[in-house]
């Protein structure tokens, strides 16, 4: 049966595509293969041989997992995909910020997203490539999709890093630590310390009860470790991919299971905190329909100011690109 049908008004939620078979794309494919959630996965890359090699390697592991059709394809194979994950783009080099990548990857995305929309206008698009907030905006503008169906991986990974480091500092299971990193997935991101807690116990009180430091210097040091962790990993091994693949898996679970769970993904901000017209990472209710609601969680005065600074950073980047983006 020919998969390459030109028109399709419905999508198959058990079929996904990953565009970009580099470290992040391949690791994401491997992570999702093990879940058994999908019956079909198509891998697309500008280097077809790379996509074919990754698909074959993954397929050879299927006897240890649920049956699944994994293959290398092209954009025509997206026709009935329910979920399209975009990981393609230039890699972040040692010493380079995520925002340094913006023009290069925006040009790449113009081609990718235009090709997607030829064959599919009904999927959820999940953007992972950096700078993810700006590229989520670019994807939304070029695709013409409702903003609810264009989602960036946002600060889901940054929040996980904060929970892990804070849990280690406190000597407690990181799954019991509750706090968010919000704003830009990048240098202007910020931690929400004002509502941080350990299983409902205010972070300040918890630190006092277990004799752990809660002073500003300690918190600033923890946050810097979160913010700079990707740079350190890139310097050490060239790229980050395991933890981001797990982050993507968590977002995908929320979509496929219609969980209505709250995750700090990158979404269109429309009036929240007095901001609008920009994609940035805030806690959102994520369900089968995509981003169901962007939440305006309480912030203290300092956190609000930092969030506005992050928004300005992203708005400036978007403003520079707007003349290059063709709106569908």
Token output for 12:
């198959």
Give the mean model confidence (pLDDT) for residues 156-184.
95
Distance CA 214, CA 112 (A): 46
Name the least confident of 21-35, 66-80, 103-117, 239-253: 103-117
The answer, yes or no, to whether residue 235 has pLDDT greater than 70, is yes
| CATH C-level class of 12-152 | alpha beta
| Tens of pLDDT, residues 89-136 | 877 677 666 667 788 888 899 999 999 999 999 999 999 999 999 999
| Tens of pLDDT, residues 269-283 | 999 999 999 999 999
Q: Are strands 177-178 and 197-198 parallel, antiparallel or unpaired?
A: antiparallel
Domain residues of the chain, as ranges? 12-152, 156-322
State the average pLDDT for the chain: 92
Confidence (pLDDT) at 96: 64
In sequence order, the β-bridge partners of residue 127 are 86, 152
CA angle 68, 252, 318 (to 5 degrees): 125
Confidence (pLDDT) at 43: 98
Confidence (pLDDT) at 175: 96
The answer, yes or no, to whether residue 84 has pLDDT greater than 70, is yes
Confidence (pLDDT) at 1: 35
Token output for 210:
């277990």
Residue pointed to by tokens 């277990």: 210
Confidence (pLDDT) at 98: 61
The answer, yes or no, to whether residue 298 has pLDDT greater than 90, is yes
What radius of gyration, in Å, describes the C-alpha atoms of the chain? 20
Distance CA 221, CA 216 (A): 8
Which CATH fold topology does 156-322 show? L-2-Hydroxyisocaproate Dehydrogenase; Chain A, domain 2 (3.90.110)
Confidence (pLDDT) at 79: 96
Give the mean model confidence (pLDDT) for residues 29-55.
97
Give the mean model confidence (pLDDT) for residues 311-322.
86
What are the catalytic residues? 185
């Amino acid at each position: 049966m020919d998969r390459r049908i030109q028109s399709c008004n419905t999508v198959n939620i058990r079929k996904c595509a990953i565009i970009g078979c580099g470290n992040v794309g391949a690791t994401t494919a491997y992570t999702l293969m093990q879940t058994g959630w999908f019956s079909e996965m198509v891998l697309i890359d500008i280097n077809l041989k790379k996509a074919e090699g990754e698909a074959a390697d993954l397929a050879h592991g299927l006897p240890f997992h649920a049956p699944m059709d994994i293959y290398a394809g092209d954009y025509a194979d997206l026709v009935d995909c329910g979920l399209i994950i975009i990981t393609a783009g230039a890699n972040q080099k040692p010493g380079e910020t995520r925002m340094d990548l913006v023009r290069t990857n925006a040009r790449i995305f113009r081609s990718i997203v235009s090709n997607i929309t030829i064959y599919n206008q009904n999927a959820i698009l999940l953007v992972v490539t950096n700078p993810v907030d700006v590229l989520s905006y670019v994807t939304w503008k070029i695709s013409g999709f409702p903003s609810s169906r264009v989602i960036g991986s946002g600060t889901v990974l940054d929040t996980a890093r904060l929970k892990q480091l804070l849990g280690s500092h406190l000597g407690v299971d990181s799954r019991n630590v509750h706090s968010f990193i919000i704003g830009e997935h990048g240098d202007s991101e910020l931690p929400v310390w004002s509502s941080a807690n350990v299983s409902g116990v205010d972070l300040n009180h918890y630190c006092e009860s277990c004799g752990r430091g809660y002073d500003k210097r300690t918190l600033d040091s923890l946050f810097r470790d979160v913010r700079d962790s990707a740079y350190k990993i890139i310097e050490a091994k060239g790229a980050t991919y395991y933890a981001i693949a797990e982050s993507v898996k968590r977002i995908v679970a929320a979509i496929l299971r219609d969980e209505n769970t709250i995750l700090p993904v990158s979404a269109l901000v429309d009036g929240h905190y007095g901001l609008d017209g920009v994609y940035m990472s805030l806690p959102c209710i994520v369900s089968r329909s995509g981003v169901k609601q962007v939440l305006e969680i309480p912030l203290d005065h300092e956190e609000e100011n930092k969030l506005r600074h992050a928004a300005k950073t992203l708005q400036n980047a978007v403003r520079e690109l707007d003349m290059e983006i063709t709106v569908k």
